[in-house]
Structure 1
Amino acid sequence: MIENRPFLHLMAHVILIAGVCIVALPVWVAFVASTHGPTDFMRGTIPMWPGPHFVQNYSRMLDRGLATSGTPAVGTMMLNSLIMALCIAVGKIVISVLSAFAIVYFRFPFRGLAFWCIFITLMLPVEVRIVPTFQVVADLGMLNSYAGLTIPLIASATATFLFRQVFLTIPDELTEAARIDGAGPMKFFRDILLPLSRTNIAALFVILFIYGWNQYLWPLLITTSADYYTIVAGIRRMADAVDGLPQWHLVMATAMLAMIPPVVVVIGMQRLFVKGLVETEK
């Protein structure tokens, strides 16, 4: 049993507050930078309090974007990122839950080999196979398209492994009872396995949504049309000033706007997310 000592409670709170300050300081500096003018951060000193250009900077990025870097309005880039993140998250979950269901509940030759072939793909992330993947996508004519942004990133060995572990915890008696009641494989999957996996699906959705939203290298490589720029790749292009210094106040405004959807998803699904990570008994 943990002893109830006021000094330990005080130290724990001090450490937690210090950690929050360390994590929040860069976010605060980015927010402050997004409210100042273009020259305020070029004077050698960093302002620590918000400036008077909050509405001007944010409305400009939401309405027009940054023409000097060829990036469209932030709303367009955020919509592209939202479509990409949702397609990747939903696609990974659907494919992974079905493949885990097949591996656990069906008996077929080389079942274990099939699982390990899926699992070892963890050693081959997109960055390692970027050149052949790009060649395949280009040959299929999927450059500058939502299909090209999402399909190469949909398969997930990690999610397959996690769902397999979840399904292995389902008692065999439940499977036998469903078979006695006349439930077929898909009815058992739909009416029993999916409800029992709801919290795990929610936790994985949050993780995979953020994974898709934060994709940087792949969207930067296959999109050359501004209509398909994602928000993270757009920030990278905005930071590359061709004819002058980067307009950091607008870059920081875009970065702050890019944080909103992931934060909303995490806060909105926080209860299911935490429950899905810590729940072990079904």
Structure 2
Amino acid sequence: MVENRPFLTVLRHVVLLAGVAIVLFPVWVAFVASTHPQPTLLSGVAPLWPGDRLVENYSQLLSAGMAQAGGTPVGLMLFNSFVMALLIATGKIAVSLISAFAIVYFRFPFRMIAFWIIFLTLMLPVEVRILPTFEVVADLGMLNSYAGLTIPLIASATATFLFRQFYLTVPDQLAEAARMDGAGPMRFFFDILVPLSRTNIAAIFVIMFLFGWNQYLWPLLVTTDESFTTIVMGIYRMVNVSDEQPQWHLVMATATLALLPPVAVVLVMQRLFVKGLVETEK
């Protein structure tokens, strides 16, 4: 029997509200800073309430950008980061779904060896193999392109492992019933396995989208054209300037804008994301 203790209920809510306040306070400070002019932030007293420069600061960033970031509009940088994150997430899911399907449902020589080779690539992130990967991308003429930004990051041993573990829980009777109904392997894959994997796909999509959105080192290497600058690269350039003071009000505005797409993705897919992480049986 669960006891109803009002004191514990109040205490839990107080702790949760305190945690929310601690997490949101830096975000609030960044937003407030983005609504003030530069002299206000350099006065020595951090403002805690919004100023009167919100529309002006954000309009300048979205339309013209900053000289410290190459003059690239923040809207273009957000678009580049969104395209990169979306292609990486969807590419990882597509490749991992098919590779896990082949490993679980097809019998071929060295099947498990192939799986473990894929799994061992977890020890080889892009930072470790960055020089040979860059050389391959350069030789293929994919520098300064969305293909160069995304294709080398698409393969995912983590997603392959998670989909494989889920496929192993699918009853064999489903595959036998599909075979008796005349469904081929791909029909079984698209009509049965993919719909059953919906929550897992949502969870992996959120994780991989955030992974692609936060990429810095790889875009820095493969792009020299300002039109392919991502939002993370732009923020770094705004902060690390020489011979002048960073425009902190514009930096904070850019950081606030950079926060919106990942938060929107998490909020939209929150229910499926949580189910995909905790659900063990279908």
The TM-score with structure 2 as length reference comes to 0.96
SS of the equivalent of 1:259 reads: helix
Mark the runs of 5 or more structure 1 residues left unpaired by the alignment: none
Give the AA of the match of 1:93. I
The aligned residue for residue 166 of structure 1 is 166
Contact map agreement 1:77 1:230 (CA 8 A) in 2: yes
Give the AA of the match of 1:34. S
State the Cα distance separating 1:68 from its structure 2 match: 3.6
Contact map agreement 2:68 2:237 (CA 8 A) in 1: no
Give the AA of the match of 1:108. F
Give me the whole-angstrom Cα distance separating, in 2, the residues matched to 1:203 and 1:68.
Answer: 36
Moved more, 135-144 or 41-50: 135-144
State the Cα distance separating 1:277 from its structure 2 match: 1.8
The aligned residue for residue 237 of structure 1 is 237
Give the AA of the match of 1:275. K
Moved more, 107-116 or 256-265: 256-265
Contact map agreement 1:96 1:159 (CA 8 A) in 2: yes
Give me the whole-angstrom Cα distance separating, in 2, the residues matched to 1:204 and 1:30.
Answer: 29
Moved more, 113-122 or 7-16: 7-16
SS of the equivalent of 1:39 reads: helix
Contact map agreement 2:81 2:230 (CA 8 A) in 1: yes
The one-character-per-residue Cα deviations of 1:15-34 (angstroms, maximum 9, x if unpaired) are 11111111111111110110
Give the AA of the match of 2:72. P
SS of the equivalent of 2:62 reads: helix
The aligned residue for residue 248 of structure 1 is 248
The aligned residue for residue 218 of structure 1 is 218
The aligned residue for residue 123 of structure 1 is 123
Moved more, 224-233 or 63-72: 63-72
The aligned residue for residue 63 of structure 1 is 63
The aligned residue for residue 100 of structure 1 is 100
The one-character-per-residue Cα deviations of 1:30-77 (angstroms, maximum 9, x if unpaired) are 101100101212122211111111111000001100024314101111
Mark the runs of 5 or more structure 2 residues left unpaired by the alignment: none
State the Cα distance separating 1:2 from its structure 2 match: 4.6
The aligned residue for residue 6 of structure 2 is 6
Identity of aligned residues (%): 70
Moved more, 259-268 or 157-166: 259-268
Whether 1:140 and 2:147 are equivalent positions in the alignment is no
Over 3 Å counting, the alpha-carbon distance change for 1:278 and 1:54 in structure 2 is: same
The aligned residue for residue 49 of structure 2 is 49
State the Cα distance separating 1:217 from its structure 2 match: 1.5
Contact map agreement 2:69 2:235 (CA 8 A) in 1: no
Contact map agreement 1:71 1:234 (CA 8 A) in 2: no
Contact map agreement 1:202 1:276 (CA 8 A) in 2: yes
Question: C-alpha root-mean-square deviation of aligned residues, in Å?
Answer: 1.3
Moved more, 28-37 or 138-147: 138-147
Contact map agreement 1:71 1:229 (CA 8 A) in 2: no
Contact map agreement 1:89 1:154 (CA 8 A) in 2: yes
Give me the whole-angstrom Cα distance separating, in 2, the residues matched to 1:207 and 1:31.
Answer: 25
State the Cα distance separating 1:136 from its structure 2 match: 2.1
The TM-score with structure 1 as length reference comes to 0.96
Give me the whole-angstrom Cα distance separating, in 1, the residues matched to 2:253 and 2:138.
Answer: 33
Whether 1:154 and 2:160 are equivalent positions in the alignment is no
Over 3 Å counting, the alpha-carbon distance change for 1:57 and 1:100 in structure 2 is: same
Contact map agreement 1:69 1:240 (CA 8 A) in 2: no
The aligned residue for residue 184 of structure 1 is 184
Give me the whole-angstrom Cα distance separating, in 2, the residues matched to 1:108 and 1:278.
Answer: 32
State the Cα distance separating 1:130 from its structure 2 match: 1.9
The aligned residue for residue 18 of structure 1 is 18
Moved more, 218-227 or 84-93: 218-227
Contact map agreement 1:30 1:256 (CA 8 A) in 2: yes
Give me the whole-angstrom Cα distance separating, in 2, the residues matched to 1:29 and 1:53.
Answer: 15
SS of the equivalent of 1:47 reads: coil
Contact map agreement 1:38 1:247 (CA 8 A) in 2: yes
